[in-house]
Structure 1
Amino acid sequence: MASEKPEVPVTDTHMGDMKEPTRVESDLADEHVVDGPRPTGWMHRERKIGKFSLSWYASPRSQLLMVSFVCFLCPGMFNALGGLGGGGKTDATLADNMNIALYSTFAVFGFFGGTFVNYLGVKATLSFGGIGYCIYALSLLLSVHFNVGGFNIFAGALLGVCAGLLWTAQGTIMISYPKEEDKGKYFGIFWAIFNLGAVIGSLIPLGESIHTKDNVNVSDGTYIAFIVLMFFGAVVALLLCNAKDVVRRDGSKVVLMKHPTFITEFVGLWETLTYEPMVVLLFPMFWSSNWFITYQANGVNNAYFATRTKALNNLLYYLAQIIGALGFGYAMDIQTFRRTTRAKASLIFIFTLTMVIWGGGYAFAKKFNRADVDKKLHPDYVFMDWTTDGYVGPMFLYFFYGMYDAIWQASVYWYMGALSNSGRRSANYVGFYKGIQSAGAAVMWSLDSHKLEFIKEFASNWALLAGSLVVAAPVIWFKVTDHVTIEEDLANTDETIADVLPSGHPEKTVV
């Protein structure tokens, strides 16, 4: 039997008076219902191991863990490889060109990714997305032994397509499956598992180069290990269930478009902007969110450190991401404070963090330029090793760069999740995010391939990050509310409340 809840008056928007709500409106307004109706099939059956109960297979928590594991194996390993700088090579030119192709196609398919997610479903989209990662790593391995420049560029462009689809599907799950009060925690859990892949992946080149104090290319064995793990990630994605089968503990379903088509989803992108035009003020944050990766990987880690120390830095960078994501994610869901208060506090916190961390980064960045660390110009140049005096300061800087990355991404996802609970609208928000993010990354990789001075790369990062927070302030200050109602989520869609009620709900027939 469903628990009793207080009946909250609902304002009649036409007459301006108060009316008694239907039980359906009350059920949907309160997300704290437990033991609500849930289908009885194998996907929705709880199982126990001793005294411990496991979430049903088609629960948001189980699906989040599976998606996290897919990202652990695919983009997590990609980050471990890319974080070394140059795709594991001392000369970053090839990786720069591959990444220009990658993020150019990523921008397009990330932008329209919501269309494919709603049409194909999250399972097929994630699995196809995972394939591109192992082909990318394979092309880097082949480039060590053969001149396959055309295939390298193709692999980069293909990964852009695949990554755009994978990340849009992942983002849709992460911000539309959980309840409002759990969205920060869900991001923290996902980001921790995903980056654990990069931490473990960093152990591969660290183990391979443990005795190498110079800056050299990674071994064939490193590339082969990444290829196998990435392919396994694409296979794991096939074990997911589709969003229409996911049921929360209170019996509610994810808000999805009833009969998605490419035409209606293209229109949906426009409807998303017309529904909430101020979302464009988040676009500079989207643009900035991968802009700094190029500088950190190539301008700091690859340029200044020996191979084994790069691998160690990489491990610490992604370990810091786990700490940052869990800490920030859980903090953003503290129910002691209203959601509007948490949103404003987070903005002030991130702006302060930007000034502190990147201020420390400036002290490091002004120490050297490209010419100083160029082995062709200075054959006797010695890269910094973890045994070198003065290593501790740069090590901690790189650690905090990783923590900052996680907090930035967490804040963007949380702000988007606070604007809507709708799966359809969330997919479009994430599509905007990944498309604009990737366009910015493509520009930055292009600038790096043209050998822009490191200090200029650094300055562009600091300015963009700080400026984008100022631009985003009105959205965070005025558009994030304490709760998004189901009626608001269904606005400008062809869905009804009946479409999102769980099957068998006693009130479904009266809607």
Structure 2
Amino acid sequence: MPRYHSPLAQVLIISGVCFLGPGMFNALNGLGGAGQLAPQTAGDANSVVYFTLFIFSILGGGIVNVFGVRYTTAIGCIAYALYTGSFVYYNHLESGTLTVASGVAVGMGGGILWSAQGVIMVSYPSENEKGKFICIFWIIFNLGGLIGGILPFAINYNNTGSLTDSVYILFVVLECIGAATALFLVPPTTVVRDDGSRATIFKSSSIRQECREVLRLFKNRWMLLLLPMSFSSNFFYGYQFSHYNGALFTLRTRGFNNMLYWGSQIFSVFLLYLLLDFSRWTRRKRGICAMIIILITFNAVWAGTLVIQLRYTKGGSDTDYPGGLVDFLDIPRAAGPAIVYFFMGVADSWYQSMAYWIIGTLTSDSYKTARYIGFYKGIQSLGAAVSWYIAARDVPYLNQLIGNWVLFLVALPTMFYTVVHIKERDTFNKLLVRI
């Protein structure tokens, strides 16, 4: 067992929190329309979620620096339970008001939770373990999406309508357990690595000070360069979840596909970790090789998606996809679209992990990391808000696919530029001064 105050123990705890909180949220969204036949309510709610996330993620780093990681993370996880519970209300009254309102709570709590998660995952490990810790987190976190796919798949195997109350209630219970798990986190200043060094150096921080530092992020060269990466990193969820998985497949098959999507991330991120922590190569060489792999994979995925997208223009019960909705038991029809969805998950895990790794190379100071991760998650959430807003409207599916592909290509040059200019080791801890 790892020491309680070790980086590994704390990463395992925050991984469990995200497994039970955001992991369940991702599982619901992955079903398309959060398991509802009419996706507009979930799409509108997600627009609210991610727009609020945009604001509170940028502020989240400062909030975590002032109030710590424990209680901010626990409160953030409770917000996910409120959102999931609102669908029970929707099932009975068919009113999306509570769901959209609870989206504000998720945006506020989630923005702070992800800032805390970034601090723990990126700044706690030593330089030669950053890839491993990202891998550990991503595997445990995506088990949430995997199990979140198994549950509705099993419970709703013979159900052709929306998810039942029992599934939503089960998700709420799991998210509440996640909030309780967050209470086992310790302050960053008490975390000690195996070599005896501390994960962070103590500096007092105030609300005024953090507001000033957050504003400086908008003039930070690296944050500005990484804006396209941040904006596009969750943009594809609206299309993939609602207009691919949600539009093409039966309810039980959407659950089955969820298992493929999140399950693919578990093994694929391990492969990326082997590359990013390969000590015989320099940081720069590892980063460039990873970027080339991501470039090839994403373009192949979008090309395969385009082939399928050209066969339909609308989804759901009135889809014009040849043969109607696809069921996983109809293997000849399901194999191609399901394989493409599997590799969408692979590409997602590599892109997200690469983004964290790049940010982790910029500094090892937990206070700066909190602000950098918060800024990244904020811009990421702004992109997701736009994506879900588009997904809830009558924008042609093909236009959404092309927009996602173009955004990815726009993000690549500045990601490559940042990787090429990576320093071989972070000297920040030697140069640390009181801010």
> Could you say which TM-score interval applies, normalised by the shorter chain?
over 0.9
**3-state secondary structure, aligned to 1:390:** helix
2:55 to 96, 108, 125: 108
Displacement of 1:255? 2.5
In structure 2, the CA distance between the partners of 1:429 and 1:85, relative to structure 1 (3 Å rule), is same
2:124 to 177, 190, 193: 177
**Alpha-carbon separation, structure 2, partners of 1:261 and 1:136:** 31
The 8 Å contact of residues 422 and 489 in structure 1, kept in 2 or not, is answered as no
Instruction: Output the amino acid matched with 1:382.
Output: G
The 8 Å contact of residues 246 and 316 in structure 2, kept in 1 or not, is answered as no
The 8 Å contact of residues 311 and 322 in structure 2, kept in 1 or not, is answered as no
**Alpha-carbon separation, structure 2, partners of 1:173 and 1:228:** 25
Q: In structure 2, what is the equivalent of residue 465 of structure 1?
A: 408
Q: Deviations over 1:277-315 (max 9, x none)?
A: 133111101000110011110011110000111100001
Q: In structure 2, what is the equivalent of residue 418 of structure 1?
A: 361
**3-state secondary structure, aligned to 1:250:** coil
In structure 2, the CA distance between the partners of 1:390 and 1:254, relative to structure 1 (3 Å rule), is same
Q: Which runs of 5+ in 2 are unaligned?
A: none
Q: In structure 2, what is the equivalent of residue 483 of structure 1?
A: 425
The 8 Å contact of residues 7 and 199 in structure 2, kept in 1 or not, is answered as no
The 8 Å contact of residues 261 and 341 in structure 2, kept in 1 or not, is answered as yes
Q: In structure 1, what is the equivalent of residue 384 of structure 2?
A: 441
| CA RMSD across the alignment | 1.8
Name which of structure 1's ranges 398-407 and 245-254 shifts more when overlaid on structure 2.
245-254
**Alpha-carbon separation, structure 1, partners of 2:296 and 2:171:** 37
Q: In structure 2, what is the equivalent of residue 494 of structure 1?
A: 434
**Alpha-carbon separation, structure 2, partners of 1:377 and 1:152:** 26
Displacement of 1:164? 0.4
**Alpha-carbon separation, structure 2, partners of 1:358 and 1:377:** 21
Instruction: Output the amino acid matched with 1:105.
Output: T
In structure 2, the CA distance between the partners of 1:382 and 1:110, relative to structure 1 (3 Å rule), is same
Q: TM-score if structure 1 supplies the norm length? A: 0.82
**Alpha-carbon separation, structure 2, partners of 1:379 and 1:336:** 49
In structure 2, the CA distance between the partners of 1:377 and 1:62, relative to structure 1 (3 Å rule), is closer
Instruction: Output the amino acid matched with 1:238.
Output: L
Q: In structure 2, what is the equivalent of residue 20 of structure 1?
A: none
Q: TM-score if structure 2 supplies the norm length? A: 0.96
The 8 Å contact of residues 257 and 494 in structure 1, kept in 2 or not, is answered as no
Structure 2 residue 209 is matched with structure 1 residue 237: no
The 8 Å contact of residues 230 and 377 in structure 2, kept in 1 or not, is answered as yes
In structure 2, the CA distance between the partners of 1:169 and 1:489, relative to structure 1 (3 Å rule), is farther
The 8 Å contact of residues 365 and 429 in structure 2, kept in 1 or not, is answered as no
The 8 Å contact of residues 256 and 424 in structure 1, kept in 2 or not, is answered as no
The 8 Å contact of residues 272 and 425 in structure 1, kept in 2 or not, is answered as no
**Alpha-carbon separation, structure 2, partners of 1:374 and 1:413:** 35
2:196 to 244, 251, 256: 251
Q: In structure 2, what is the equivalent of residue 286 of structure 1?
A: 230
Q: In structure 2, what is the equivalent of residue 321 of structure 1?
A: 265
Q: In structure 1, what is the equivalent of residue 158 of structure 2?
A: 211
Structure 2 residue 339 is matched with structure 1 residue 399: no
The 8 Å contact of residues 313 and 320 in structure 2, kept in 1 or not, is answered as no
Instruction: Output the amino acid matched with 1:247.
Output: V
Instruction: Output the amino acid matched with 2:200.
Output: V
Displacement of 1:147? 4.6
Instruction: Output the amino acid matched with 1:57.
Output: Y
**Alpha-carbon separation, structure 2, partners of 1:366 and 1:329:** 35
In structure 2, the CA distance between the partners of 1:265 and 1:346, relative to structure 1 (3 Å rule), is same
The 8 Å contact of residues 188 and 330 in structure 1, kept in 2 or not, is answered as no
Displacement of 1:357? 1.6
Instruction: Output the amino acid matched with 1:260.
Output: S
**Alpha-carbon separation, structure 2, partners of 1:195 and 1:414:** 18
Q: In structure 2, what is the equivalent of residue 133 of structure 1?
A: 80
**Alpha-carbon separation, structure 2, partners of 1:363 and 1:290:** 22
Structure 2 residue 334 is matched with structure 1 residue 384: no
Structure 2 residue 31 is matched with structure 1 residue 118: no
2:245 to 286, 301, 308: 301
Structure 2 residue 343 is matched with structure 1 residue 343: no
The 8 Å contact of residues 69 and 194 in structure 1, kept in 2 or not, is answered as yes
Instruction: Output the amino acid matched with 1:72.
Output: F
**Alpha-carbon separation, structure 1, partners of 2:217 and 2:99:** 36
Name which of structure 1's ranges 139-148 and 394-403 shifts more when overlaid on structure 2.
139-148
**Alpha-carbon separation, structure 2, partners of 1:487 and 1:133:** 36
Instruction: Output the amino acid matched with 1:84.
Output: L
**3-state secondary structure, aligned to 1:238:** helix
The 8 Å contact of residues 17 and 179 in structure 2, kept in 1 or not, is answered as yes
**Alpha-carbon separation, structure 2, partners of 1:189 and 1:374:** 36
The 8 Å contact of residues 255 and 422 in structure 1, kept in 2 or not, is answered as yes
Q: In structure 1, what is the equivalent of residue 14 of structure 2?
A: 67
In structure 2, the CA distance between the partners of 1:424 and 1:179, relative to structure 1 (3 Å rule), is same
In structure 2, the CA distance between the partners of 1:331 and 1:378, relative to structure 1 (3 Å rule), is closer
**Percent of aligned positions that are identical:** 35
Displacement of 1:448? 1.4
Displacement of 1:489? 5.7
| Structure with max Cα Rg | 1
1:310 to 238, 248, 254: 254
Name which of structure 1's ranges 74-83 and 346-355 shifts more when overlaid on structure 2.
346-355
Instruction: Output the amino acid matched with 2:303.
Output: G
**3-state secondary structure, aligned to 2:325:** coil
The 8 Å contact of residues 111 and 435 in structure 1, kept in 2 or not, is answered as yes
**3-state secondary structure, aligned to 2:294:** helix
**Alpha-carbon separation, structure 2, partners of 1:257 and 1:95:** 42
Instruction: Output the amino acid matched with 2:406.
Output: A
Instruction: Output the amino acid matched with 1:87.
Output: A
Q: Deviations over 1:433-490 (max 9, x none)?
A: 1100000111111111112111111111111112201232221112x11101135662
1:429 to 372, 377, 380: 372
Q: In structure 1, what is the equivalent of residue 417 of structure 2?
A: 474
Q: Which structure has more helix as a fraction of its residues?
A: 2
Name which of structure 1's ranges 386-395 and 136-145 shifts more when overlaid on structure 2.
386-395
1:375 to 314, 317, 332: 317
Displacement of 1:417? 0.2
The 8 Å contact of residues 421 and 489 in structure 1, kept in 2 or not, is answered as no
Instruction: Output the amino acid matched with 1:189.
Output: I
Instruction: Output the amino acid matched with 1:301.
Output: N
In structure 2, the CA distance between the partners of 1:256 and 1:455, relative to structure 1 (3 Å rule), is farther
1:142 to 62, 84, 89: 89
The 8 Å contact of residues 284 and 468 in structure 1, kept in 2 or not, is answered as yes
The 8 Å contact of residues 369 and 454 in structure 1, kept in 2 or not, is answered as yes
